[in-house]
Amino acid sequence: MSYEVLARKYRPSSFEEVVGQDHVIQALSNSILQDRIHQAFIFSGTRGVGKTTLGRILAKCLNCSSSDKPVAVPCNECTNCEEIKLGRSLDFYEQDAASQRGIDAMKELLQTVPQSTANGRYKVYLLDEAHMLTTESFNALLKNLEEPPQHVVFILATTNPEKLPKTVQSRCLQLNLKTVGGTVLSNHLQKILQSENINYDEESVDLISEAASGSVRDALTLLDQAIAHGSGALKSNNVRELLGTIDSSFLVAMVNAIINGDGVGSYEALSKIEELSPEYDVILKSLISILHKASIEKVLNNSTDQDIKNLAANIDEEFCQLLYEIAINSYSKFNAHPSPKEALEVCILRMLAFNPIHKIENKNTSNETEKKNLKMPKINTTNSIEKDSDSIKTRTVNLKDNCNLKNNSDWLELFNLLSLSPFARNYFGNLSFLSFEESLLTLVEPNEENNIPENVFKEFQTVLNEYYGFEIAVEIKQGDNNNSPLNHKKKIESDRQSKAEKDVLSDPSIQKFLDKYDGNIKDGSIKPVN
């Protein structure tokens, strides 16, 4: 006996065997049990989710001879059920609207509508890919949809319901089939593998489920291919090779290197990925997926993947979203690059460029002269950051030495000298000086939490330590921040603006000019000279 592919062998023969479409099954079963069968249905959804299968099952339910009325569970043994299954029923018409879309084919089909049923209760017409019908065919069908004979039921299956004329949609009961989620589909595949006595690991099943993108038929087709590729067994490494995917741990390592501002490390991780010979667009898509999973993990904290959990713990939400946007933008412009490799490398370079930690590694020494007055002998130390549970937001490091920071004026001067990225300058510019005692610098943030990302705090910590040449502990508390560098800057700008306006308005020549021509000075037009 010839081999029967899994997609055909495990095609559902009853509603209870259909995967992931409980809402549709419930609606159809209830309509049958309550004897409220609609004259026309639209089954819509992506490929391979069960539109045609549900149409055939519904036809069997309506015509099953195991009962004197339609049943919600067909027997699959009577003559009517068997003939519908084999495509030989005189009461079930299935037409591919993609290949038979013209008016002639439609007229030929509709000629049978007025005829009585041969053996069943209903004549069921299933039009697959119904959106492909011509305008003339829809017009011919419309009258039959509006006033069909009592023994006729139409089923329109389509992947694009929006392409159906509104006049057709309004005369049909539309049921939208969902894509089948990862867990549900994975469980379904595992049952089939167990039934087929095939050895497998769960990771390989999950990979196939993810690659199928919610399509049960695609999943079964990939499963057939994977079994053949693995010589009768299902192993994750063979499935990755078949699908052209890579182990997520390699990508996680690359992302962690980017987070840490380690350009060399990120390219070393990329080199290991390239040894597996995947397509560069596949690498980029996988990178987007990793960042998406990390973003979800930051919110839900429910991932079962330890690599993703570790990555989420190592990256702040803002920077994760920034990396995701860079990756998405790179993917959208992938074909614009001279080579696929260049597209991926530019993406990584952009991620490193927008990382504050990366900027620290490459900053110049232009401020060395300015630092001399405050610079002390450098002591080689190792940073460590801890959270104090007794305060609302406190971070401390090992304390080694002392430096001269006595008041807020010193803090304002220091802040202007530090080579901080725009990210860090925006966050720490809103903090005021509170105290500096025993190498512990205490800053004050507004009563509402500033929520400084960990990598931004790390940048400030690194820049501060490098400026002085030894470790300084930093503590952030909540309170009045009116004397912060940014507020101080705003006050200076406001004072300059007020002085400029006062000087202009008090200038005798300007007043004489305005009086002579009955003029006035437009609000906001006076600007101080830089």
Q: Is residue 286 part of a domain?
A: yes
- DSSP assignment string, 453-498: -HHHHHHHHHHHHHHHTS--EEEEEES--TT-HHHHHHHHHHHHHH
More confident residue, 81 or 488: 81
Distance between CA atoms of residues 516 and 511, nearest Å = 9
Q: What is the pLDDT of residue 379?
A: 33
Q: Are 348 and 236 within one domain?
A: no
Distance between CA atoms of residues 186 and 397, nearest Å = 47
Say yes or no to pLDDT of 504 above 80: no
347-370 average pLDDT score:
63
Distance between CA atoms of residues 65 and 80, nearest Å = 7
430-439 average pLDDT score:
81
Q: Is residue 510 part of a domain?
A: no
Give residue 241's identity as a one-letter amino acid code.
Answer: E
Say yes or no to pLDDT of 383 above 60: no
CATH number at residue 293: 1.20.272.10
Query: Which residue is it, tokens 């159906």?
Result: 164
Give residue 360's identity as a one-letter amino acid code.
Answer: I
Q: What is the pLDDT of residue 393?
A: 38
For residue 456, what are its two tokens?
């931004």
Radius of gyration, alpha carbons of the chain: 35
Residue 330's CB is within 10 A of a number of other CB atoms, namely 22
CATH number at residue 186: 1.10.8.60
Alpha carbon dihedral 143, 148, 153, 155, in 10-degree steps, equals 10
Distance between CA atoms of residues 358 and 462, nearest Å = 12
Give residue 299's identity as a one-letter amino acid code.
Answer: V
Q: What is the pLDDT of residue 210?
A: 85
Burial class (CB in 10 A: 0-12, 13-18, 19+), 406: exposed
What percent of the chain has pLDDT above 90? Answer: 39
Residue 521's CB is within 10 A of a number of other CB atoms, namely 12
For residue 172, what are its two tokens?
């049909």
Task: Indicate the range of 435-444, 495-504, 515-524 predicted with least confidence.
Answer: 515-524
Distance between CA atoms of residues 425 and 420, nearest Å = 6
Mean per-residue pLDDT of the chain: 83
More confident residue, 155 or 272: 155
Say yes or no to pLDDT of 356 above 70: no
pLDDT band at 449; cut points 50, 70, 90: low
Pair 482, 507: CB distance under 8 Å? no
Q: Are 74 and 20 within one domain?
A: yes
Distance between CA atoms of residues 121 and 129, nearest Å = 25
3-state secondary structure 2-41: CCCCHHHHCCCCCHHHCCCCHHHHHHHHHHHHCCCCCCEE
Split into its structural domains, the chain has a count of 4
- DSSP assignment string, 151-208: TEEEEEEES-GGGS-HHHHTTSEEEEPPPPPHHHHHHHHHHHHHHTT--B-HHHHHHH
Q: Is residue 360 part of a domain?
A: no
Q: Are 213 and 347 within one domain?
A: no
Q: Are 127 and 11 within one domain?
A: yes
Q: What is the pLDDT of residue 92?
A: 94
Q: Are 348 and 452 within one domain?
A: no
Q: Which helix (H) or strand (E) holds 124?
A: strand 123-128
Distance between CA atoms of residues 208 and 219, nearest Å = 6
Say yes or no to pLDDT of 447 above 60: yes
- Long-range (24+ apart) CB contacts under 8 A made by 33-37 are 33/72, 35/69, 35/70, 37/62, 37/70, 37/122, 37/153
pLDDT band at 365; cut points 50, 70, 90: very low
CATH number at residue 10: 3.40.50.300
Q: What is the pLDDT of residue 448?
A: 61
Q: What is the pLDDT of residue 164?
A: 94
Domain boundary among 290, 325, 354: 354
Q: Are 479 and 415 within one domain?
A: yes
pLDDT 10s digits, 166-181: 999 999 999 999 999 7
Residue 392's CB is within 10 A of a number of other CB atoms, namely 11
Q: What is the pLDDT of residue 395?
A: 38
Distance between CA atoms of residues 519 and 496, nearest Å = 24
Q: What is the pLDDT of residue 177?
A: 93
Q: Are 31 and 160 within one domain?
A: yes
Q: What is the pLDDT of residue 243?
A: 79
More confident residue, 516 or 47: 47
Residues forming beta bridges with residue 445, ordered by sequence position = 478
Domain boundary among 243, 267, 287: 243
Say yes or no to pLDDT of 376 above 70: no
User: Is residue 304 helix, strand or coil?
Assistant: coil
Q: What is the pLDDT of residue 404?
A: 63
Say yes or no to pLDDT of 385 above 60: no
Percent composition of the chain: helix, strand, coil (DSSP 3-state, to 5): 50, 10, 40
Q: Are 25 and 141 within one domain?
A: yes
Q: Is residue 523 part of a domain?
A: no
pLDDT band at 450; cut points 50, 70, 90: low
Q: Are 27 and 166 within one domain?
A: yes
Q: Is residue 374 part of a domain?
A: yes
Q: What is the pLDDT of residue 41?
A: 95
Q: How far is residue 408 CA from its own chain's centroid?
A: 45
Burial 337-363 (b: 16+ CB within 10 A, else e): beebeebbbebbebbbebbbbbbbeee
Q: What is the pLDDT of residue 140?
A: 92
Q: What is the pLDDT of residue 420?
A: 84
C-alpha angle 97/99/105, rounded to 5°? 70
For residue 267, what are its two tokens?
């390219």
Domain boundary among 309, 328, 354: 354
446-467 average pLDDT score:
77
pLDDT band at 458; cut points 50, 70, 90: confident
Task: Indicate the range of 355-359, 376-380, 507-511 predicted with least confidence.
Answer: 376-380
Q: Are 26 and 169 within one domain?
A: yes
384-413 average pLDDT score:
51
Distance between CA atoms of residues 473 and 208, nearest Å = 50
Query: Nearest to residue 392, comparing CAs of 321, 468, 478?
Result: 478
Q: What is the number of residues in the chain? A: 530
The domain containing residue 450 runs over which residues?
368-483
pLDDT 10s digits, 187-202: 999 999 999 999 999 8
pLDDT 10s digits, 88-126: 999 999 999 999 989 999 999 999 999 889 888 999 999
Q: What is the pLDDT of residue 454?
A: 77
Q: Are 141 and 57 within one domain?
A: yes
Q: What is the pLDDT of residue 437?
A: 79
Distance between CA atoms of residues 147 and 438, nearest Å = 90
Q: Is residue 303 part of a domain?
A: yes
pLDDT 10s digits, 402-422: 456 778 888 888 888 888 887
Q: Is residue 505 part of a domain?
A: no
Task: Indicate the range of 207-211, 242-246, 307-311, 355-359 predicted with least confidence.
Answer: 355-359
Q: What is the pLDDT of residue 407?
A: 82
pLDDT band at 261; cut points 50, 70, 90: confident
Q: Is residue 377 part of a domain?
A: yes
Q: Are 168 and 190 within one domain?
A: no
